[in-house]
C-alpha cells in the first residue's frame, strides 16, 4: 500500500489517498479542501477510487466529498450516528464563516464491524465515539505485506500528543477517553496512527506519553 497525504488551509485537515496495490484500487479518506490534489494524484497514477470513507462528518472532513463523488462515482460511507452532522455540513461551515458545497446523500452507512477489501488492503471500521457520536477509526493492513505494521486513520479521535475536542454537538469527553483506551490502545504498539490533523504517531508512543491518557 502506498499512502498519499495532503492538507490545505484554513483547516489543515489531512486527506488521505490509499493506493491499495497492483489492482490500482484506491480509497479516499475524509476528502476536504485538499481534494483536487488527491484526485490529481489518483489520475496521474491511474488509480480507481473504490470508496470514499469518512472518519466523521465535521465540515473540514467532508468539504471535498461533493467533488470527489462527482469525479469518481465512488460510494460515500459514513457512520449513521454522524448523519446529523453530515446533513448540516453547510451550516457548520457558516458557523465558522466558511462556505462549502453540500455533500451528496451518503451511499451507505457503516455496518457494525464492517470490512472493506479494495485491492490488497483490508480496512476494518472501528467505532470510536466521543469527538462525535459517529466517529470511526479505519485500521488498514495490506494482505501482500502482512509484516508491515497496522495503519490506523484516527480522524479527530486521537492526535500526536493530543485528543479531539469534545465541545462540539454530540461530543463527550468521557466517551472519547473510553474509546481511545478500549479500542485504540488495544491495538499493537507498533501500529502507525495517521490523524485528521497534524503528524503521524504510533499507538505505543501515545500510550506512553499522550498527556490526556496518562495511566
Q: Which residues bind Zn ion (CB under 5 A)?
A: 13, 58, 60, 156, 196
In angstroms, the CA 203 to CA 209 distance is 10
Q: Give the number of C-alpha atoms closer than 13 A to the C-alpha of residue 132, restricted to the C-beta side.
A: 25
Q: Cβ 61 to Zn ion, closest distance in Å?
A: 6
Q: Cβ 96 to Zn ion, closest distance in Å?
A: 11
Residue among 60 and 206 whose Cβ is closer to Zn ion: 60
Residue among 19 and 60 whose Cβ is closer to Zn ion: 60
Residue written as grid cell 466517551: 175
Q: Cβ 182 to Zn ion, closest distance in Å?
A: 20
**How many CB atoms lie under 10 A from the CB of residue 61?**
29
Residue among 50 and 58 whose Cβ is closer to Zn ion: 58
Residue among 58 and 79 whose Cβ is closer to Zn ion: 58
Residue among 60 and 142 whose Cβ is closer to Zn ion: 60
Q: What is the DSSP string of 48-114?
A: EEEEEE-S---HHHHTTHHHHHHHH-PPEEE-GGGHHHHTTHHHHHHHTT---PPPPPPSEEPPTT-
Q: Cβ 156 to Zn ion, closest distance in Å?
A: 4
Q: Cβ 57 to Zn ion, closest distance in Å?
A: 8
Cell numbers representing residue 78 in the block: 459514513
Residue written as grid cell 490526556: 212
In angstroms, the CA 82 to CA 61 distance is 12
Amino acid at each position: 500500500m502506498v499512502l498519499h497525504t495532503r492538507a490545505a488551509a484554513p483547516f489543515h485537515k489531512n486527506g488521505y489517498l490509499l493506493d491499495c496495490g497492483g489492482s490500482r484500487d484506491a480509497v479516499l479518506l475524509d476528502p476536504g479542501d485538499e481534494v483536487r490534489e488527491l484526485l490529481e494524484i489518483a489520475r496521474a497514477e491511474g488509480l480507481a477510487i473504490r470508496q470514499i470513507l469518512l472518519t466523521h462528518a465535521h465540515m473540514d472532513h467532508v468539504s471535498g466529498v461533493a467533488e470527489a463523488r462527482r469525479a469518481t462515482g465512488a460510494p460515500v460511507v459514513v457512520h449513521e450516528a454522524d448523519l446529523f452532522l453530515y446533513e448540516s455540513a453547510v451550516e457548520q461551515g457558516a458557523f465558522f464563516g466558511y462556505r462549502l458545497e453540500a455533500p451528496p446523500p451518503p451511499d451507505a452507512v457503516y455496518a457494525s464491524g464492517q470490512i472493506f477489501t479494495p485491492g490488497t488492503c483490508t480496512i476494518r471500521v472501528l467505532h470510536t465515539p466521543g469527538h462525535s457520536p459517529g466517529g470511526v477509526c479505519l485500521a488498514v493492513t495490506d494482505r501482500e505485506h502482512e509484516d508491515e505494521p497496522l495503519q490506523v486513520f484516527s480522524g479527530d479521535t486521537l492526535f500526536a500528543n493530543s485528543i479531539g475536542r469534545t465541545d462540539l454537538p454530540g461530543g463527550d469527553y468521557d466517551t472519547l477517553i473510553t474509546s481511545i483506551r478500549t479500542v485504540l490502545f488495544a491495538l499493537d504498539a507498533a501500529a502507525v496512527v495517521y490523524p485528521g490533523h497534524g503528524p503521524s504517531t504510533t499507538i505505543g508512543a501515545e500510550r506512553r506519553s499522550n498527556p490526556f491518557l496518562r495511566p
